[in-house]
């Protein structure tokens, strides 16, 4: 197995594609985005190994985001490769019109519920649709949690890790006598994957993501190969760090409500992240919503229409907390 690092001018952080050539097959996990620079980089990396898009037999996708599946359709068109993704994401990857209409309708609903100003909505929608028509969608074979695939001498097991995306999946494998995992965007080495905004189809996004992280902690993998940037040598420690981060963020959400009084999601987002641009116009309030929704179900905050306030007694508990963290149940 080899890691191919690909630039990412559309989103954040260099992407990774993972190449398997053992046995008679050529297999990729993820493809990077659809941009011309990424295409040239992946073609060059394959060429250095005596391969081309036409030689790819199978592609396994961690999720539907374009910076992970952007070239799958082009590769499939050249090679006839089978493309696999979780059933929850398959329709979006295939470019199904009904699935995308439902996605946009749901986003629009949340933009209003979050209190996102109209002018910021316009900027965001332009950002999200920029370049989408250049993506050639593949035909997808759906998989489910727990399915296994033989790739040469390596067996990949699907570990469904919903949160960042409804169908986000990792692939667990025994490599060089170690228990390793291709973690996609479930576990990243530098920044934390967005929850709440990155896929508005996910119900209870923070709860689901925290459970996925707890699973990574308990699995005690020897190494994780993430969707972006460098390998992670202590996945359990990194997963616990992100859990801790979300408890700190929940404390900050509650502190924002304590200082500002009842307010909507957009106001909380502004308190946490300041002015936002580009895709962060979606990610900031989305993550704020994920925390507010989780805290509401825990009876820590109370929602009245589009506004949230602290539940009775929470302000006193917050004042008595000196760790700037709020323990989350999941």
Q: Are 201 and 234 in contact (CB under 8 A)?
A: no
User: Which residues have C-beta within 8 Å of that of residue 306, sequence separation ≥ 6?
Assistant: 113, 114, 115, 264, 265
**Global pTM value:** 0.96
Lowest mean pLDDT among 85-94, 131-140, 165-174: 131-140
pLDDT in tens, 269-322: 999 999 998 889 999 999 999 999 999 999 999 999 999 999 999 999 999 988
User: How many CA atoms, within 13 angstroms, populate the side-chain half-sphere of residue 324?
Assistant: 5
Cα–Cα distance, 28 to 17 (Å, whole number): 7
pLDDT in tens, 190-249: 989 999 999 999 999 999 999 999 999 999 999 999 999 999 999 999 999 999 999 999
* Domain assignments of the chain as residue spans, ordered by start: 2-96+131-239
Domain 2-96+131-239: give its CATH code.
3.60.15.10
Q: Phi and psi dihedrals of 241, rounded to 5?
A: -60, -40
């Amino acid at each position: 197995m080899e890691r191919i690092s690909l630039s990412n001018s559309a989103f954040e952080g260099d992407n990774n594609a993972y190449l398997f050539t053992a046995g008679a097959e050529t297999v990729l996990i993820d493809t990077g985005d659809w941009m011309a620079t990424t295409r040239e980089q992946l073609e060059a990396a394959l060429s250095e190994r005596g391969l081309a898009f036409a030689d790819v037999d199978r592609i396994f996708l961690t999720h539907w985001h374009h910076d992970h599946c952007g070239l799958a359709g082009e590769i499939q068109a050249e090679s006839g490769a089978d493309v696999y993704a979780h059933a929850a994401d398959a329709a979006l990857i295939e470019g199904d019109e009904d699935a995308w209409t439902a996605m946009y309708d749901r986003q629009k609903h949340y933009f209003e519920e979050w209190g996102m100003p109209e002018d910021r909505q316009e900027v965001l929608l332009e950002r999200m649709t920029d370049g989408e028509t250049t993506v050639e969608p593949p035909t997808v074979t759906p998989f489910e949690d727990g399915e296994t695939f033989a790739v040469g001498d390596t067996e990949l097991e699907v570990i469904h890790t919903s949160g960042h995306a409804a169908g986000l999946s990792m692939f667990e494998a025994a490599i060089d006598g170690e228990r390793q995992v291709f973690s996609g965007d479930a576990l990243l080495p530098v920044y934390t994957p967005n929850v709440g905004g990155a896929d508005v189809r996910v119900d209870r996004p923070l709860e689901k993501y925290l459970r996925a992280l707890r699973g990574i902690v308990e699995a005690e993998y020897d190494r994780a190969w993430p969707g972006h940037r460098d390998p992670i040598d202590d996945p359990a420690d990194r997963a616990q760090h992100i859990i801790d981060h979300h408890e700190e963020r929940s404390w900050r959400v509650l502190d924002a409500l304590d200082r500002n009084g009842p307010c909507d999601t957009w106001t909380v987002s502004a308190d946490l992240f300041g002015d936002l641009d580009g895709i962060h116009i979606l990610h900031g309030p989305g993550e704020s919503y994920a925390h507010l929704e989780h805290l509401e179900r825990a009876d820590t905050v109370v929602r009245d229409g589009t506004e949230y306030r602290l539940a009775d007694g929470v302000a006193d508990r917050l004042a008595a907390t000196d760790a700037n963290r709020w323990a989350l149940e999941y």
